[in-house]
Structure 1
Amino acid sequence: MKNKIKTYILALSVATASFVLGGCTKSFEDVNTDPDAFSDVPATNILANVIRNTGESFGGDIDGYGTFAGYIVKIQYLDYMSGLIPTNNTYGNRWYACYYNLTQLDELLRMTEETAEANKNIRIVARIWQNYMWSYLTDGWRDVPFSEALKGAEEAGSIVRPKYDKQEAIYPAVLKSLKDIADELAEGAGPDEVGTGDFIYEGDMEKWQKFCNSLRLRLAMRISAVAPDLAKTTIEEIANNPSRYPVIETNAENCYLTYPGAAPYWEPWYTTGYTGDKRVDNFGISDIFIDHLLEMEDPRIGKVANKANDGQYRGYQNGAASTPTPLTSISFIGDKYMNDPVGFTPFYKSCETFYILAEAAMLGYNVGITAEDAYEKAVRLSMEDNQIDAEATDAYLAGKGKWNNTKERIWWDMWVALFKENFEAWSLYRRTGIPSTNYPSLNSVYGDAHNDQPFRLPYPNNEYLYNVDNLNEALTGVKDYVWGTQMWWDKRTGVY
């Protein structure tokens, strides 16, 4: 897979070079007929570009969602939440990355439409990833352009200022689309090879089928408190039809993107965290994360965190008044997660499946497994993914991590397990209130106006400039850009 990414990048460079060199010819016609330039982009190259862009755009976040989720704090350039404003950078870039990816995948579907049956597999992968992008958008910003999005071209309707759809409408539509895809996959894969652009599963359609149904589980559980009937029927349908709707159940099936590991194509956290062989001392592990891991005697602590300079694990406060002295007196992000140029960007971990099933069993859903068994399976998968041996895992499950028949036990352990999948952990927090010890920056520029981490992301500034009428409707109830109206599925009280 690493070599495939390198090959793709080389091919993209050749295509770019051909276009640029062709631009030196004397006429526009010469440019368009340059024999060295690519006239058609293979569908697998489009897929490669989208997957790469997803990994680099979202996998590189450390202190944003990582701080919102309660994992990571800035220790050198302290975070006072001043960056949570409309901008076309940072979170705005991720907004554009989502819509860019959606547009690229729409083009892939358009160019293969006339040969849809012959291109069934790559079209299915494209549609699954589109739904993943839609879920990312709505869970990040809540109401977003959806039904009128991607229709700027004349033949699509010339809609350049799309309306914002309610999250309440987006979720059922995404779940329906994933259900349709799941049913198509249940009838069998197509004849085509997805190609070298599949950097995640290398064309293994059975694993894509499992990711599709696992994504359905995730989204259904997210809305279990606000659309209980849809959540229950979706989860029970999947859990009770494993041959038709298989899910991710082993770490070998994890939806992870790995990287070439050679300069400059390093894993994003490694790129951010290292200059040559020197560690960049910007990020520490938060006090609430370290404190929880220590209290629980959780063996995963040695993977998610490094020891401080005195040989102890020590977290730091979010938005402290001053930097720690010295910086090395704080635990940094563990080498497994930051000191690996190959590394990985996680989109779905197998343990998630069983945390979800454990919670579903607690809700009384018929899922074919008890909450205790599902919880213990989830913990073992997370430990295995972190290279924790069976003896330490058994000790944890017999000790502080022992099943206690509460949803809180599921959520606390899931929070630990989701480390590096920070966006998903932030969503878990917003839905469940776990970790209950989470708090916003102590020296926030907003003072005491808000007692919680952000509920959402700020819309990009270009939306204020070019789609303001539709945006203003979406902004109803929003306060200070990222607070106010909570996510549709966020039913917590007492947060503001």
Structure 2
Amino acid sequence: MKTTFIKYTACLVLFGSFLFSCKDLTQLNVNPNGVQPETVNPNLVMPTVLSETGKLYVNLGFQDIAGVVQHTQKDAWFSGHNDYDWGGDQSWTAYYDLLRNNDLLYQRAVALNMEFQQGVALVMKSMLFGLITDLWGDAPYINALKGEQGGADFITPKYDSQEVIYAGILADLDKANTLLSKPKAAYSSIVESADLYYAGDPAKWQKLANSLKLRYLMRISAKQPDVAKAGIEKIVATPAQYPIIDDASADATMAYVGNNSGDAWPSNSVFDISGSNYRRVKMCSTLLKPMQATSDPRLALWAKKVEIPLVVDAKLPAGTDKITNGIRYLSPDKVGTTPIDTDPNYVGLPPSASQLPSGYNFNPTPGQTSVNPHVSYLNEIYTQAKGPLLKARLVSAAEVQFILAEAAQKGWAAGDAKTRYEAAVKASLTAWGVTSSYNAFIAQKGVAYDGTLAQIIGQKWIASWTSATEAWFDYRRTGLPALTAGPVAKRKALPLRFYYMRDELNLNKTNSGVAIEKLETTANSQADGKNSAWSKQWLVQGTGKPW
């Protein structure tokens, strides 16, 4: 039987070899599932572009940029978050990797005449290149994504100016607006499940394109006010041609699936069994105090009350430090001159206040793995891997209405500033499920419209929770809110940009060097040289902002 089996097997091998020898080897190298770059269906590429962009956006706006704009602070592994101790390791590689995938999406959509997918790709290209230039400054743009063509111009591409990049973004968004202007039935090959933002709804993608255009027009408003004014007024004057995200139901969001650590909310304790990513993040007092002062209904959704409030009582005997009925009582001599926050409900961590932030507010167990019962943690929804409020929030109706409120306040034809401002506040409350609190909230002192830019930007800053990157760019452009660096921060001012990374300085030395020379040094950047987080990009040079 053994001899028979060997002979049978040998025959099968010889027969198989004969069959394959008759086939063209190029045929054997074709993937039958159609995932070769030359034949891939755009709908197979789209989910990766959308999901990874959403994750990148959250990893900025919920992580270190939330520390910059003082939404949150960390009490462990905190130096980058609280103190801007960034060094030169901030890389745009992930952004360009996504742009390459997105370019494949676009090129295949053009080849197959899929206009919906073309429009989506142009919107995502605009968003990603917008982030790159917003974060770093001048960057490879025109000659980017062409490395496979060979040649030094493409392998080590020149850096284009911010002015050129923003102009290209605005042009691409105009093109996307046209591509996405048809009824859904007019498009071929829309796969709803491939569109993680809008389930294949071209009308909402068209709104996103024009809303992004508003974002970038306002971004360049200090440098090119005539361009910004004309562009915003054109969108407002022709809403049928240029629809925008005008209510929270059209917000560009991506829900987290929560099946594994790669598609779960980043602070979850479901896959991070230690709970460290959740435990180390605290509400910042800079955000918490104004929200508490106006009874902001979003605060309870974002933060927990302190587990054990502090009470300092002069009637207590010297040396008293005890917990009774869930309250920790301290005599004044135990406190001395150390800052203490005895608010019975919410306590925020001050920005960059200490080399040992885990010890704030008399935490009895400071350290990297400590638990501080005297400072507000984030709401427990942020321990979950997924949930109805756990979304990447890329562009919102609130942001759009705040932009138009600012434009109207400038005297541009963008509607009534008060109406726009109130619509923005209501849209934010709606997005967080607390619309019913709007009437009482908008009547609060400090929230009721007072006609100032500081109030518009201040409420926009609050509304950008978990999407803090936009708040940073607004601060850089306006100096608002009037944020100040904490006492142990790396510099005495908030940073303005990311460093060009070491790999780029080494591998594309000539072109990165030209870009660095165009940066403007400041008093805060002198210790780093021109490639500093405190050097000014073209976008803010000559504006006197933010400091």
Instruction: Name the SS for the 1:215 alignment partner.
Output: helix
Correspondence for 1:193:
189
1:378-413: per-residue Cα shift (whole Å, max 9, x none)?
1111112222242x3212211221111111111111
Corresponding residue of 2:103: 106
Does the Cα contact within 8 Å between 1:125 and 1:208 map onto a contact in 2?
yes
**Structure 1 residue 489: Cα displacement:** 4.2
Aligned partner of 2:224 in structure 1 is 227
- Bigger CA drift: 201-210 or 480-489? 480-489
- Of all paired residues, the percent bearing the same amino acid is 25
Contact 2:119 2:175 in 1 (8 A): no
Given that residues 109 and 117 in structure 2 are in contact (C-alpha distance below 8 angstroms), is that contact kept between their aligned partners in structure 1? no
Following superposition, the deviation at residue 305 of structure 1 comes to 1.6
TM (normalized to structure 1)? 0.85
The one-letter code of the counterpart of 1:131 is S
Whichever residue aligns with residue 42 of structure 1, its letter is N
Cα distance, 1:264 vs structure 2: 3.9
Report the counterpart of residue 129 of structure 1 in structure 2: 124
* Deviation, structure 1 residue 55: 2.1
* More contact order relative to length (CA 8 Å, sep ≥ 6): 1
The residue that corresponds to 1:468 in the other structure is 509
**Amino acid paired to 1:169:** V
- Paired position in structure 2 for 1:173: 168
The answer to whether 1:394 aligns with 2:392 is no
Conserved? CA contact 1:353–1:378, under 8 Å: yes
Is the aligned partner of 1:317 residue 2:350?
Answer: yes
CA deviation after TM superposition for structure 1 residue 366, in Å: 1.2
AA partner of residue 465 (structure 1): N
| In structure 2, distance between residues paired with 1:442 and 1:288 | 14
> Could you tell me which residue of structure 1 aligns to residue 339 of structure 2?
none
- Are the structure 2 counterparts of residues 252 and 340 from structure 1 closer, same or farther at C-alpha, using a change threshold of 3 Å? farther
Task: Tell me, in whole angstroms, the C-alpha distance in 2 between the residues paired with 1:388 and 1:36.
Answer: 46
Name the SS for the 1:365 alignment partner.
coil
TM-score, normalised with respect to structure 2: 0.77
Change (3 A) 1:328 1:493: farther
Moved more, 404-413 or 204-213: 404-413
> Which sections of structure 2, spanning at least 5 residues, go unmatched?
1-19, 310-343, 365-371
Match of 2:258 in 1: 261
2:481 to 428, 435, 439: 435
1:84 aligns with 2:86: yes
Match of 2:79, SS? coil
Deviations along 1:269-314, one digit per CA (max 9) or x if unpaired, are 3447973495631111112111221233322211222212225211
1:463 aligned partner, one-letter code: E
User: Counterpart of 1:85 in structure 2: which amino acid?
Assistant: G
Between stretches 263-272 and 201-210, larger displacement belongs to: 263-272
Report the Cα offset of residue 35 of structure 1: 5.4
Which of the two has higher C-alpha Rg? 2
Aligned partner of residue 441 in structure 2, secondary structure: helix
For the residues of structure 1 that align with 2:63 and 2:196, how far apart are their CA atoms? Answer: 26
Q: Which residue identity lines up with residue 534 of structure 2 in the other structure?
A: W
Structure 1: distance between partners of 2:374 and 2:172 = 49
CA distance in 1, matches of 2:258, 2:270: 14
Match of 2:377 in 1: 332
Residue correspondences, number: 458
In structure 2, how many angstroms separate the alpha carbons of the residues matched to 1:219 and 1:376? 22
Structure 1 unaligned regions, length at least 5: 1-24
CA deviation vs aligned residue, 1:29-58 (integer Å, no higher than 9, x gap): 797256578444321111111112112233
Aligned to 1:6: none
Judging changes above 3 Å, is the alpha-carbon distance between structure 1 residues 425 and 267 closer, same or farther for their aligned structure 2 residues? Answer: farther
Residue of structure 2 equivalent to 1:22: none
2:544 corresponds to which of 472, 493, 496: 493
Supply the AA of the counterpart residue of 2:242: Y
Whether the aligned pair in 2 keeps the contact of 1:431 and 1:490 (CA below 8 Å) is no
Q: Secondary structure at the match of 2:216?
A: helix
2:492 is equivalent to residue 459 of structure 1: no
Aligned CA distance change for structure 1 residues 463 and 187 (closer, same or farther; 3 Å): same
